[in-house]
Structure formats: C-alpha cells, structure tokens
Amino acid sequence: MLVTEEARAAAVPGATMPQEPRQTDFQLVRVKSTWCRIKKGEALSNDEDEITLSEAKIGERISEGGISWTIEAPIYFCYKVVETYNILEPSNTTLLWGHITDPQETELATANKRKLRRFIVIDEVVDKLYGSKVRAYFRENNVQHKILSLPTTEETKSMDLVLNILQEVQSFSLDRRTEPIIAIGGGVCLDIAGLAASLYRRRTPYIRVPTTLLSYVDASVGAKNGVNFLQCKNKLGGYTPPVASFLDRSFIQSIPRRHISNGLGEILKMALMKHKGLFDLLKNHGKYLLDTKFQSCSDFAHHGDAALQTTRIAIETMLEELAPNLWEDDLDRLVDFGHLISPELEMRVLPSLMHGEAVNVDMAFMTYVAHARGLLDSEEKEQILQCMRGLELPVWHSGCSWTLIQRALRERLKHGGGQMRMPLPTGLGMADIFNDTSEETLERAYELWVKDCKPKVKVLPQA
C-alpha cells in the first residue's frame, strides 16, 4: 500500500494525533491506469515500462489540528507563433493543420476520413473585406464550417459577446479535442474569442489570425485574453494561450493609416524598453512603414526589409519577456510600460483614443518622469518624443489630467502588492523597474510634459 498509515490515522476522527507536525513529500506515479503516491526518493518498481512519473507533488502535513495537503502541479503550455503568407490560399493548409506540432499526429489527422469541421469567429469589418476569401477557403477544402461575424470593437468588448459566441459554439456541437475555434480579426476579436474558447468545456483549443498591426505584434503573441467589465479595461479574462497564432502581414494593408500608428505604439514600447536597434529602425523608417503599411517594399535598397525586421524584433523581444512569466506571477514586467495610466485613460475617453494611442500618451508622460528622475537626458527625451511624433502617435491628451494619473497610479499600487513597479527607460533601448518615484517628481514631470506637449492654443488676430 502506497498511502502512509499516519495519513490514514489522521484522517480518522478520534485517532491518536502525533505531538509534532509531520511533513511528508510525495511524488505521483501511474502504474497501469492508476495514479498513486510514493514517498519522495523511494525506489520505483522494476517494471519501469508500465510506470509514468508525474512532475506533480503532494506534500502532506499532519499535526494536532488535523491534516493538510499541498499540491504542486506544474502546468505545461506549448503554443506556436508562426509567420506565414497567403494564409487564405486554398492550397495553403496552415489554417487547418499548422497548429499540430507532432508530424505523426498530422499524418493521423489528415488521413482521417471524417469531414473536417471548423467554427470561425470573425470581426465584422474583416468579414466585409475578406469574408468571401475565407468562405472559399473552407469550401474548397471541403470543411463544414460556421462563420460568426461580430462587431468586435472596444465598446462591445464584453461578456455579452463572449456568451453570444458560446451559444453558437454549443449549437455547432464542436468536438473540443480536434476542432479548434479560429478567430480572425484585431486584438478585440482575438481577446473575446480567446476568452470564449477558454471557457467552453473549460478549455477548447483556439487559433488566432491577427488582422491589425497591433494584434500581429502584441495580442497574438502572449497567453492573455479578456473583456472589459464595468467600464474597466480587460477586468475579466484568463491566461489561456491559443494552440497557434498565424501571422499574415497582408491583412495589414487594408487598415487605415491611424491603425498602423496605433500598432507602432506597442512596437515602440519594446524598442524603448529593450532594443536600441528597433528604436533606430522606427526612427529612420517609421514614415516609410506608415506609407507602405508594412507590405513588402519596392524600395529595398534604402529601407532593406524594414517591415520584416521591425515586426520580427518586436515579436522576439515581446516573447522573451512573456514566455518566462506567462501567468504574470512576477509583477515586475517591462511590458507594462505604457500600461500604468493608459487603461484608465483609454476607457475614460472611449472611443477617442485607440489602445496603442492611449499607451503612447502614457509612454510620453513616463518619458518625462524618467527625465525628471535623471534617467534620461534632455537629448534622449527629445529623441523619444520626436520618434513618437514621426510615427504619428499622440504625445498628449486632454483626458490625461493630473487627477486621472493619480487615480491610475493608486490602482497600480493596489494591484502591484503595494509597490508601484514602474517601468522607466534608463537610456534608449534600456530600462528598469522603479518603486520609489516620489509624488513631487511625478508632479514636476507632469508640469513639464503639459508645457511641452499640450498643443498651444492659436490666438487669432483680432479683426
């Protein structure tokens, strides 16, 4: 018998309790189909073939008060972020099979004679632009499909749309083992569909196909999903990554110029926090990237493939920061730069600022904070502001008042375990996290920021 006698005794009311608490650590092994505990370090049976050892552990503590168990269960996630081209070409099978990692599994899946089925959530605007190609893709691949077209905007990013998706998924009668939900759209669509998938039968695999620059470099890269709740940004959500994100830059050509700037805001964040080379790319080729909407360049001689380099570095630097901290257990996160004040600001002034724009207003103010702390000299501060303007990003907004900043930072303190955890640039492409920025420094930075960045009111000459 693998369960200890002490444990049995302690579990029985009235049984003799030991005086001193006793701690025993167990590993878990599966013998044939039954899992059981063995004391840590205890030898396993010779019949190794039949035995699976889990990484999970159970710690058992028996004391006079009773018994308690502590469970340590490492959870493993594996997902792919794949740069791809012509994803809607019917001959390209990425969207159908690209999420499967094991070649044997792909062979089995493709050999299966059962008709393929897919449930697709698509942003309404994207549906108007690409819906006929999406339908042709599934039709020509003989896939039984349901396409749910939704108005996924920041204002509609709520549980209502999540429930709407779940109802449709239920009536489609999805097989959650083999039929991943596919989300096609901007960050809002991917976040809503991702949350619905993570709730359906507790976790249904899903695939992200980003169609905006911001979702290409940011919302498709990490594990988070979510919706707004009670006027608060992304208040409900979870950390369930997709099985794969398939990135096809060609979608970006149809987004308006302002949306390119919006995405550049999140790219600039990574540049300022950790990559001077990325900052230089944005500084030198920003206008070109805006003009060409990140499509393959005809002017290769002057710009190289600036679009490809920019998106790749943005994704790689983001993955470096996210992968070791997928569940945000460590609250000291450089990727929070631009996200201390912007959630409050974005929701307060909806729909006047897009996500990346609100992030940039926050980053512009924080650049002044870094300068006020002596982390950036005037020239570095100016270079950053100039780069932001070159990318056509707002560096100030009337809604970003001193009162709003104070309120947002109080929230940050509350959710940061009593610490501010303020990421700040300490040079171009370098940063650190600070907990000791004084109110006086913030106020000084605010005054200078308003003085420099608030547009001057033009006084018209009197008639």
Ligand X SMILES: NC(=O)c1ccc[n+]([C@@H]2O[C@H](COP(=O)([O-])OP(=O)(O)OC[C@H]3O[C@@H](n4cnc5c(N)ncnc54)[C@H](O)[C@@H]3O)[C@@H](O)[C@H]2O)c1
Which residues lie near ligand X (CB under 6 A)? 123, 125-126, 129, 152-154, 157, 185-189, 191, 211-212, 214-215, 218-219, 222, 224-225, 234, 251, 254-255, 259, 262, 354-355
The distance of closest approach from Cβ of residue 110 to ligand X in the complex, given in angstroms and rounded to an integer, is 30
Residue with tokens 């899946």: 109
Q: What is the dihedral of CA 79, 125, 196, 326, to 10 degrees?
A: 40
| Residue 39: its H or E element | strand 34-39
Nearest-approach distance from CB 356 to ligand X, in angstroms: 6
The secondary structure of 124-166, three-state, reads HHHHHHHHHHHHHHHHHCCCEEEEEEECCCHHHCCHHHHHHHH
Among 80, 157, 224, 235, which one carries the catalytic annotation? 224
What are the structure tokens assigned to 12, written together? 């029985």
**Cα dihedral: 361, 362, 364, 370 (round 10):** 170
Output the smallest distance, CB 126 to ligand X, in A. Answer: 5
Q: Are 61 and 70 in contact (CB under 8 A)?
A: yes
The residue among 27 and 149 lying less far from ligand X, judged by its C-beta, is 149
CB-nearer residue toward ligand X: 221 or 366: 221
**CB of residue 433 vs ligand X: minimum separation in angstroms?**
19
User: Which CB sits closer to ligand X, 25 or 89?
Assistant: 89
456 assigned to active site: no
**Farthest CA pair distance, the chain:** 100
Rounded CA-CA distance 183/351 in Å is 23
Question: Can you spell out the DSSP letters for 326-394?
Answer: TT--S---GGGTT-SSHHHHHHHHTTSS-HHHHHHHHHHHHHHHHHHTTSS-HHHHHHHHHHHHHTT--
- SS3 state at 122: strand
Q: Looking at beta carbons only, is 222 or 429 nearer to ligand X?
A: 222
Minimum distance, C-beta of residue 269 to ligand X, in the bound complex (Å):
10
As measured in angstroms, the least distance from the Cβ of 271 to ligand X is 16
Helices and strands in the chain: count of H runs, count of E runs:
16, 14
> 106 vs 153, which CB is nearer to ligand X?
153
CB count within 10 Å of CB 73 equals: 10
Q: Which is nearer to ligand X, 60 or 248 (by Cβ)?
A: 248
Catalytic (active-site) positions: 224
